[in-house]
Amino acid sequence: MACRENSDQVTNRATIRGPVTELTDEELHRQALVIDAHADTLQLILDDGLDLAKGSERLEIDLPKAKTGGLDALFFSIWVDPRLYRGEQAVARAFSLINALKNQADRHADKIAIATSAAAIDRAERDGKLAALMGIEGGHALNGSVQNLYGLFDAGARYLTVTWSNTNELGDSSGDLTSPTVKHHNGLTDFGRQVIAEMNRMGMIVDISHVSDQTFCDVMKITKSPVIASHSCARALCSHKRNMTDDMLRAVASNGGVVCINFYPLFLDNGFAREKDTVDSALGSKYAAIDEEFKDNPVKASLERDRVQRMFLSETDSVSYERIVDHIEYVIKVAGEDHVGLGSDFDGIPATPRGMKTVADLPNLTRALRRRGHSDDIIRKILGGNVMRVCRAVMTC
């Protein structure tokens, strides 16, 4: 689907940081600004009482692992499960997640700093702290109210993903387009257009991961600020409907935005999708038993199926982290070196690639990019420079 972009949108080149010659792989990685545009770690912090500073085998991102992996800034996903929270409960849940991150920052002020601007990211990096940013994953957390958008922005959120896997009041999702029980809008709604305009005005990044193709095109026609796809891959390399077509990649480039590559093997490689289907088929009887056990609580049944699936898929090791680099290179080929970044989806996916099990493994990407002949300048852009450019352009306060 070809999309026409706003003529006011321009592409800016990423800021190049640090020396560019005679560096080892490790030195390059440590000198680069490394930004992960999306991780779901806060769910475990809030619900399971885990601590970012102490570290845990249950966390793919914590402060010790982030230090090992050279991570400088992270957008923590404020994701509200629409199966569990609806209406004002969804709004309250979003604020609970925000407060959980702020509590961590208060408890570990020497290691983590809340950031709501590019300048704050710079300060945190200079001080040797993880810059903790927040993105609302799914417009359903607004409960149809622009006032809730203002409240979440004031609380520190700096991007909003228009939809999660569920269609909401803003527009259609890629995740439920075939559902006969969901009312669809044929793209962005009038309320969605109002929200995009307010985000542009306030200085909040528009995130187009998860949206339907038509919603994407509608957003790109009206946004006046660079967008991000906080955790998406290239559809030409993996045909999942969550991924982005070449036309979409080119539209993001024309807008000056960034596509941040998701680490979930399901979005990286078609072969993993077939493996997942095999696992789900083998677990059919177990799923049926779960449904029977929780027949009076379908939400609990769904969550338990997710838990069991995660346990089995986590043992799958067929996709290498090199596949992440394949997607990075493809986006560079189609959209250019200024329009690709990282959006791991750590702590929110049931499996990770071989060689990229936690954030501590991020230096493997720098090594692989160098092996494939990419310059230090381009690697800096991929690791965080491109996302930082969008932060500087949009997040003004």
CATH number, position 153: 3.20.20.140
> Could you tell me which of 167, 118, 170 has the C-alpha nearest to residue 145?
170
Does residue 12 register a pLDDT over 70? no
Same domain, 165 and 234: yes
Same domain, 151 and 90: yes
What one-character-per-residue DSSP string does 77-111 give? EEE--TTT--THHHHHHHHHHHHHHHHHHHHTTTT
Between CA 188 and CA 173 the distance in angstroms is 10
Write out pLDDT tens, residues 262-290.
999 999 999 998 998 998 899 999 999 99
What's the rounded mean pLDDT across residues 361-375? Answer: 98
Which residue shows structure tokens 């972009």?
5
Q: Does a structural domain hold residue 132?
A: yes
Q: How confident is the model at residue 3 (pLDDT cuts 50, 70, 90)?
A: low
Q: Does a structural domain hold residue 5?
A: no
User: What is the per-residue pLDDT for 242?
Assistant: 97
CB 20 within 8 Å of CB 376: yes
Q: Does a structural domain hold residue 238?
A: yes
Mean pLDDT of the chain: 94
Domain termination site, one of 295, 318, 341: 318
Q: Does a structural domain hold residue 18?
A: no
Same domain, 277 and 182: no
**What phi-psi label fits residue 232: left (phi over 0), alpha (psi between -120 and 50 degrees) or beta?**
beta
Between CA 51 and CA 38 the distance in angstroms is 19
Same domain, 62 and 169: yes
Does residue 309 register a pLDDT over 90? no
Does residue 386 register a pLDDT over 70? yes
Q: Which structural domain range is residue 292 located in?
A: 272-318
Same domain, 285 and 206: no
Same domain, 312 and 367: no
Q: How confident is the model at residue 7 (pLDDT cuts 50, 70, 90)?
A: very low
Q: How confident is the model at residue 42 (pLDDT cuts 50, 70, 90)?
A: very high
Between CA 107 and CA 111 the distance in angstroms is 9
Q: Does a structural domain hold residue 128?
A: yes
Does residue 1 register a pLDDT over 60? no
Same domain, 218 and 194: yes
Same domain, 280 and 152: no
Total structural domains within the chain:
2
User: What is the per-residue pLDDT for 8?
Assistant: 46
pTM of this prediction?
Answer: 0.93
- Of all residues in the chain, the percent with pLDDT exceeding 90 is 86
Same domain, 141 and 49: yes
Write out pLDDT tens, residues 46-98.
999 999 999 999 999 999 999 999 999 999 999 999 988 999 999 999 999 99
Does residue 20 register a pLDDT over 80? no
Domain termination site, one of 318, 349, 377: 318
Between CA 120 and CA 118 the distance in angstroms is 5
Q: Does a structural domain hold residue 153?
A: yes
Write out pLDDT tens, residues 347-365.
999 999 999 999 999 999 9
CB 39 within 8 Å of CB 255: no
Q: Does a structural domain hold residue 10?
A: no
Cα-Cα-Cα-Cα dihedral sign, residues 208, 222, 340, 123 = negative
Q: Does a structural domain hold residue 174?
A: yes
Q: Which two tokens stand for residue 259?
A: 């596509």
Between CA 128 and CA 104 the distance in angstroms is 16
Same domain, 306 and 323: no
Does residue 245 register a pLDDT over 50? yes
Q: For residue 266, how far is the Cα from the chain centroid?
A: 15
Same domain, 308 and 350: no
Domain termination site, one of 287, 318, 349: 318
Same domain, 135 and 184: yes
Q: Looking at 85-89, 240-244, 292-296, 319-323, which range is the least confident one?
A: 292-296
Write out pLDDT tens, residues 255-264.
999 999 999 9
